[in-house]
Structure 1
């Protein structure tokens, strides 16, 4: 089914539509400011999700104040700001899907919903004093390494210009929606939106709704909208493996215990950590162990879907773990409703009033909801980040995205990627990886200051050797040998450029210390300031507060 393919449509309407979440104002940027002086800061952080805020929080804890966080939207939160569809929640336990140095004793559920996670990030921004460092309405349009000055020069979409010695990208890989290239989609007369840009102003009651995609988002919103709509067609290319969701409310007594006896929450977090780490044994080391997990998923399906024909339709033909393992207690029951059909015949094209299948069947629709995920393997468009000798990051990654320790890229001095290539997880909390990368960047900054080093650039052989080892390990994992096609793998070259093939503690060890010997170095050309100046524009201090 072409509906599941990654890639953007050709119509410019869609490209414009996908640039901003639907719940945000279309024009959130400040007017162009041609006369406003250049903003100068030592460290420029892009994005204010877990990655960007985590970087800022640890900088503040380390006594560093000369940094700014540039955010394209009007609030912090990243993916938890942009995704607000019905039922949106995390599939990792709350006590582990949070910063180790900023625990939240007040989580209301084992698996928190979108609003509560976003509230947590807002609280973190305030608690750690990041409000004065945040610059909203600043979407990065272009970043160019200036070799002569050994700085990054940034141009924002609102016309503002920034000069920074260090550039930290916290943009992540799950921010650009993947829009299926379905003929006629742009000519559909009804309402079309991606799950990331949920149309809360559009009433679904009494509508005929087509949902394309059966991934992590769809299994959360389908159960919420199925009782509302007149009819729902779920277009499924490949069924996911789904495990029971061990969710429950966290009682007031438990929350009080976590608040007044913090060690109890740390013990819960530690227990969850090692429970999830044990999954690596099946994903990476002994894939045959996943057969036992698969039996649990099959039993879950049998209990919730009594119809043998529907159960067969919903049974995957690949090894569990090859695609992301999903958790839900209400997805299967939603598909057994009389007003829901699971459609497995491929989509041929879309017409003004519905969907036409490859066998010629026409299925009417008033609305089409795209639950087709994100462009995880190519998140940074051409021309956005340009390094030494005018080398575009897109060209550097033409054979697949790669970085040293998922953090630095040869040819791009002083650029640090948080949630870079091969730092994703199929078994645990991404916040663990973010913390490890942030600590690596902090150690790099500390060593650069101590050694009076202006800039560092990872040596190409070091990067190549590291990534050769990563790909060799990935070739033996369930993600490569499980018999599926997933967004983990770059379809253009067959390389898994997203996942870390090991335990999170192994990554933490690998990033524990910044090895200056792995990098080409340039000495400082002027004294590194001891007293930060926190984003003061050249010649106009008040501009930084604009």
Structure 2
């Protein structure tokens, strides 16, 4: 069973089909594939990773029309991969997982969904961290008389022309949609809790002749992908050695100075932490949009909403017709963790207690035969999610091959192995910019622990997660009712 038909679920399905496994189902609560790229349709929605790198290595796309693809093209790409590789017939659309529990007697997962019950030997959770929007608990928001929506649930039926709009949040989504709506609204109030580092985006239209050459000579696209990978990895050195990022910060400061002439506004938009401590943002349009006469930047969070007035923590009051929440996603308290239970009925969220942890970001002790894609401590601030995903898929598929070939009924990562790995990761994080950059970011969970970031290079990740090691697991054969590590079976 695969949960989710976004990039993770599609990739897992393609790999299963590639090794001859056809007895699987993909559960998808929506009516189409694409995951976050299907759900997010806000104006200006695009990727901040180069297109050639933001795609599967086994399914290169020479037809990208921009160096950084927009949402419609990425969604079309994922749909094409799902169709071309035969994934779509395995997807059960409009089917949402409500509960999955491990049955230790049957050694199967029992999954309750909105369309009935399933049982499965193995579960691959591909719902991902960019699944459920984060809605802030703002006093009075529920009583706001105007229109309220999150950027991930954009209301295209609401006409913003001539409206007074408050935008809450200044992260990756806001940086993209603010320039698109600014020319049409009467006034725009941007509530910015923390100033962001915004770098110029080296985006451009890909000429038709270049697309032809990439299609005609696949080696060119492989070379482009490799060049983009090496460039992103060079930037990644700075994330592990924050002093290196000073040169990149100079680019950010120059970009701000060149586009924002007003000294007071420039001060409000100048970050007070090391670049990379929060997610890197790229835009050529964001700063210019904030300088327009109909825009006011509030360098404060929102305290409350009183009727149609949004009140900042500085006491400022803004009368608006619409509130748009650009407040991101439930990155660490992933909703799927509340729906997956061990044999004793304890949820994955109960096990984590606010601090997600998984061996190699993929398996959790007490949850046999279950694999998380884009799981805890695999996030990087510089590379493509597809690079992480493909590294994990190699590991999961090796596990599937091993389990099937050996005839094992279950594999469960040993708690001491998971604990040792987690300690290794946490020991490496304090020197990285994620922890030492001087900011408060979504990388840190409710307990103040970094449960999101990978502290090393992507190359090290690919090497570390490449091969499934049965010795790290407690393994049981179909006829075996003992519960011992594989190493004890010699």
Same fold (TM over 0.5): yes
Q: How many residues align?
A: 480
SS in 2 for 1:149: coil
SS in 1 for 2:252: helix
Deviation by residue 1:130-186 (Cα, 9 ceiling, x = unmatched) = 12101001111000100110000000123x110000000001111111111110000
- Does the 8 A contact of 2:168 with 2:302 survive in 1? no
Q: Which residue of 1 aligns with 2:391?
A: 436
Deviation by residue 1:413-463 (Cα, 9 ceiling, x = unmatched) = 000000110111211101011011111111001111121111100000000
Q: Structure 2 CA distance, aligned partners of 1:200 and 1:177?
A: 17
- Does the 8 A contact of 1:140 with 1:157 survive in 2? yes
Deviation by residue 1:234-254 (Cα, 9 ceiling, x = unmatched) = 001101001110000111111
**Aligned Cα root-mean-square deviation (Å):** 1.2
1:511 pairs, out of 431, 456, 465, with 465
Comparing 242-251 with 341-350, greater Cα deviation is found at: 341-350
Q: Which residue of 1 aligns with 2:326?
A: 371
**Structure 2 residue 58 is the aligned partner of structure 1 residue 101:** yes
SS in 1 for 2:25: strand
Consecutive unaligned residues in structure 1, runs of 5 or more: 1-43, 527-546
Q: Structure 1 CA distance, aligned partners of 2:277 and 2:152?
A: 24
Query: Could you say if the C-alpha distance between residues 60 and 335 of structure 1 is closer, same or farther in structure 2, counting changes exceeding 3 Å?
Result: same
Deviation by residue 1:111-144 (Cα, 9 ceiling, x = unmatched) = 0000000000000010001121010011110001
- What displacement does 1:381 show? 5.6
Q: Structure 1 CA distance, aligned partners of 2:283 and 2:253?
A: 13
SS in 1 for 2:237: helix
**Structure 2 residue 455 is the aligned partner of structure 1 residue 498:** no
Q: Which residue of 1 aligns with 2:365?
A: 410
- What displacement does 1:525 show? 4.6
SS in 1 for 2:224: helix
Q: Structure 2 CA distance, aligned partners of 1:289 and 1:359?
A: 35
Consecutive unaligned residues in structure 2, runs of 5 or more: 481-490
Q: Which residue of 2 aligns with 1:257?
A: 213
1:236 pairs, out of 186, 192, 196, with 192
- What displacement does 1:63 show? 1.5
Query: Could you say if the C-alpha distance between residues 525 and 76 of structure 1 is closer, same or farther in structure 2, counting changes exceeding 3 Å?
Result: farther
**Structure 2 residue 238 is the aligned partner of structure 1 residue 268:** no
Q: Structure 1 CA distance, aligned partners of 2:337 and 2:272?
A: 37
Deviation by residue 1:476-535 (Cα, 9 ceiling, x = unmatched) = 101111100000111x21111111111111111111110001000110259xxxxxxxxx
TM-score by length of 2: 0.96
**Structure 2 residue 95 is the aligned partner of structure 1 residue 138:** yes
- Equivalences for 1:7-406 in 2 at 5 Å? 44-158=1-115, 160-284=116-240, 286-380=241-335, 383-406=338-361
- Does the 8 A contact of 2:195 with 2:299 survive in 1? no
- Does the 8 A contact of 2:194 with 2:300 survive in 1? no
SS in 1 for 2:120: strand
TM-score by length of 1: 0.87
Q: Which residue of 2 aligns with 1:4?
A: none
- Does the 8 A contact of 1:391 with 1:411 survive in 2? no
Q: Structure 1 CA distance, aligned partners of 2:165 and 2:354?
A: 39
